[in-house]
Amino acid sequence: AQSVAQPEDQVNVAEGNPLTVKCTYSVSGNPYLFWYVQYPNRGLQFLLKYITGDNLVKGSYGFEAEFNKSQTSFHLKKPSALVSDSALYFCAVTIGTGTYKYIFGTGTRLKVLA
């Protein structure tokens, strides 16, 4: 069965410092991986995705993520955090063999401290 794990419920980081939000996955085929951000009382906004190719994916608002097949991880990163990055972040996975199901992690709350 497909699954996604976000091991940290909350991550605190000082403004200007690099941030990492962790995600690991378990799938039976080749994964397609996604990151989303959610602000209070809003829907999920797409940040970036990994399909194939370069393991480092760049996305919106300066975020990037690194796909590591051997560690089955897809961690979200940003070189310099902003207070406005404080939000709930979700990792998601699907596989490419005709499935319509997307599996989401439980979310990680990022708090950037001024």
Partner 1 sequence: DGGITQSPKYLFRKEGQNVTLSCEQNLNHDAMYWYRQDPGQGLRLIYYSQIVNDFQKGDIAEGYSVSREKKESFPLTVTSAQKNPTAFYLCASTRGGGSGNTIYFGEGSWLTVV
Minimal distance, residue 15 CB to partner 1, in Å: 25
Name residue 61's amino acid.
Y
Checking DSSP bridges between strand 87-95 and strand 73-78, what pairing results, if any? unpaired
Decide if residue 7 touches partner 1 (CB under 8 A).
Answer: no
Q: How far apart are CA 49 and CA 47, in angstroms?
A: 7
Q: Does 28 bind partner 1 (CB under 8 A)?
A: no
Q: Whole-angstrom distance between the N-terminal and C-terminal Cα of the chain?
A: 41
| 106 near partner 1, rule: CB under 8 A | yes
For the CB of residue 32, give the shortest distance to partner 1 in the complex, in Å: 3
Enumerate binding residues for partner 1 (CB under 8 A): 32, 34, 36, 41-46, 49, 51, 90, 92, 94, 96-102, 104-107
